[in-house]
Amino acid sequence: MADRYARAWFLKSASTLEQLPPDSGTEVAFAGRSNAGKSSALNAITGRRQLARISKTPGRTQLMNIFPLDERRALVDLPGYGYARVPASVKAHWDEVLPAYLDRRRALRGLMLIMDIRHPLKEFDRQMLAWCDHAGLPVHVLLNKADKLKHGAATRTLADVRRTLEAEFPDATAQLFSSTRPAGVEEAHQVLDRWFAFDEEE
């Protein structure tokens, strides 16, 4: 199962919808605040340490990066912000492009939203959930850095987040995740397999 994600490769970066590959096949996007460990989570899920570039300075991902798995499926790493000091013009650009991508991109089947388990459901997280809810797009939340909390605290946070999602964003699900351990990768693969319809081929 993991091999299908290990085949991911970098195709291109895009700053507008027009620069994206043709709107066909199936895409799953990854989003999250700049300090939530989005790139590390993407690398853990693909088993490729250097696939998405990791910087010590949060907010370096300022483009949509396309990582195909095969001719019909791709992972899309969306810009992370909310923590980094990006120029107002850059923030305004993505405030326009991201909701348009989530709403208009026909190939998009779901969003992996990465949150720091110690600081879940911040303003940017809720904004992404609201955009996806408006677009009718399912969201799966990875509560990353679960290794930073004791098991009981992590489990309680997961339960709290799930209750909030059920009440406010019923199309969203959540799980514990750690990109450093790693942990939760197989569960994330199961969600991706469903969105990419890999199960239909087996």
Question: What is the C-alpha separation between 173 and 112, in angstroms, rounded?
Answer: 10
> What are the chain's domains?
3-197 (3.40.50.300)
The average pLDDT across 159-186 equals: 96
* pLDDT 10s digits, 82-141: 655 667 777 788 888 999 999 999 999 999 999 999 999 999 899 999 999 999 999 999
Structural contact between residues 76 and 109, judged by C-beta atoms closer than 8 angstroms: no
Q: Which residues contact 175 (CB under 8 A, 6 or more apart)?
A: 140, 141, 142, 143, 158, 184, 187, 188
Could you identify the residue written with the tokens 């605290």?
153
* pLDDT for residue 80: 78
- pLDDT at residue number 57: 44
Distance from C-alpha of 66 to C-alpha of 20, rounded to nearest angstrom? 8
pTM of the model: 0.92
pLDDT of residue 2: 66
Residue 56 has pLDDT above 50, yes or no: no
What integer is the mean pLDDT of 21-26? 96
Per-residue model confidence (pLDDT) at position 92: 81
Query: Taking 80 as the threshold, does the pLDDT of residue 153 lie above it?
Result: yes
pLDDT given for residue 102 in this prediction: 95
- In terms of Cβ atoms closer than 10 Å to its own Cβ (0-12, 13-18, 19+), residue 107 is middle
The fraction of the chain above a pLDDT of 70, given in percent, is 91
